[in-house]
Amino acid sequence: MALPKTQDREQTKSPNGPQPIRGDRGASIMGPRNVPLERENPDLLASPPTDAGTIPNLKFSFATARNRLTDGGWAREVTVRELPIATELAGVNMRLKPGGIRELHWHKAAEWAYMLAGRCRITAVDAQGRNFIDDVGVGDLWNFPAGIPHSIQGLEEGCEFLLVFDDGNFSENETFLLSDWLAHTPREVLAKNFGVPEAAFDNLASNPEWIFGGKVPGPLASDAVKSPAGTVPVTLSHHLLAQKPIKVAGGQVRIADSSNFTAAKTIAAGLIEIEPGGIRELHWHPNTDEWQYYISGQGRMTVFASSGKARTFDYQAGDVGYVPFAMGHYVENTGDETLRFLEMFRSPYFADISLNQWLALTPTELVQAHLNLDQNTMGALKKEKPIIAASRSTS
């Protein structure tokens, strides 16, 4: 029989580290071990008795991803190569120093972003020659559709952000870079294209710049470039924290999809905040897989894969979680601070199905026949309100 949850958690604080023991099941570790990693994954070390069967790994931490360093900052990624189950979306964690530039480039995949710290300036130009420029800060989003050229530059305090791409095979190391393209184009062609002498390109970088140091740009207005075609008709940035959150018992949520962030036609997201002791209720998503990024706090998630299969994972800040299409799950705050994380979907809209709501809206006798609950419990179930959830579907 499983130990009480609080006792399980106390195990992780033991000077000798946690042990793969629950009640009279399991035994202590006698061989080599990695105690810090075991402390971070107590529900893998000693799986709950409700876990069963084989489910692929649904966790990968940015802390264990290769970090590519440059004089302008760094970037690390979690793609299908790091987390094979994550075929729908890929993520990049990037840091730019003050003035640091993620050079002019474009992708085959759409780029969605969440600002974690600091501020940066973003620019883009669409296929009609309409341009866009904006400064974004903590909690802001941006979205660049596939094929649209853009840039990112750190402002006075520098910045760090999460990028999410609508292709699990995407790699930040394989983007279309301005410097890379020009370095692989004959000088006479460049001269003819731009109408200048070949010598004008004598100082072109021989290697791609990717992320490089630069001067902190001046005020936003000083960088504005007037286009004859005007500016993009749909803003490519969105102030998520300016949205009024949906407050529920145990936490709150903010949703950004194509209904309120028109540019984000391929990625929908929810910023979830769960208070200590709270839970993101049992639910599933009827439209696509879920890609998660944990911003702060600690949590655990059990994923139910049907056919008697379930597996529990623990998550901390900087971790990526994943839930394959239609699999049931919850996310529980197991720490003593607010758990904040992003749920992201390759979809134009956010949608979930609440177990609470499903049972509450199904005939009472039918539910009772399935679960064998007494009348008092059924009454409570019918009045149950989600502890932390958001259900919305827009077309």
- Domain end: 190, 218, 238, which one? 238
- Domain end: 172, 204, 238, which one? 238
Please write the tens of the pLDDT for every residue from 182-228: 999 999 999 999 999 999 999 988 788 899 999 999 999 999 999 99
Q: Alpha-carbon distance 391 to 76, whole Å?
A: 32
Task: Say yes or no: 102 and 225 in one domain.
Answer: yes
Q: Alpha-carbon distance 198 to 175, whole Å?
A: 26
Domains of the chain: total: 3
Q: Looking up tokens 């402002």, which residue turns up?
A: 155
Task: Say yes or no: 73 and 93 in one domain.
Answer: yes
Mean pLDDT of all residues in 350-379: 90
Please write the tens of the pLDDT for every residue from 293-346: 999 999 999 999 999 999 999 999 999 999 999 999 999 999 999 999 999 999
Is the CB of residue 57 less than 8 Å from the CB of residue 305?
no
Mean pLDDT of all residues in 152-180: 96
Task: Say yes or no: 90 and 106 in one domain.
Answer: yes
Q: Is 160 a catalytic residue?
A: no
Task: Say yes or no: 45 and 182 in one domain.
Answer: no
Q: Which of 209, 281, 332, 343 is catalytic?
A: 343
Task: Say yes or no: 372 and 339 in one domain.
Answer: yes
305 inside domain: yes
| pLDDT value at residue 4 | 40
pLDDT band at residue 10 under the 50/70/90 scheme: low
Please write the tens of the pLDDT for every residue from 83-109: 999 999 999 999 999 999 999 999 999
Say if residue 361's pLDDT is above 60: yes
Name the residue range of residue 218's domain: 60-238
Q: In terms of pTM, does the model score above 0.85?
A: yes
Task: Say yes or no: 76 and 220 in one domain.
Answer: yes
Task: Say yes or no: 166 and 88 in one domain.
Answer: yes
- Domain end: 238, 263, 278, which one? 238
Q: Alpha-carbon distance 333 to 324, whole Å?
A: 21
395 inside domain: no
Token couple for 183: 């370095």
Task: Say yes or no: 306 and 212 in one domain.
Answer: no
Task: Say yes or no: 379 and 265 in one domain.
Answer: yes
Task: Say yes or no: 139 and 183 in one domain.
Answer: yes
Is the CB of residue 167 less than 8 Å from the CB of residue 108?
yes
The residues that bridge with 237 in the sheet, in sequence order, are: 142
Task: Say yes or no: 91 and 209 in one domain.
Answer: yes
Specify burial of residue 279 (Cβ count, 10 A radius: 0-12, 13-18, 19+): buried
CATH number of the domain encompassing residue 267 = 2.60.120.10
CB atoms within 10 A of CB 172: 23
Task: Say yes or no: 266 and 285 in one domain.
Answer: yes
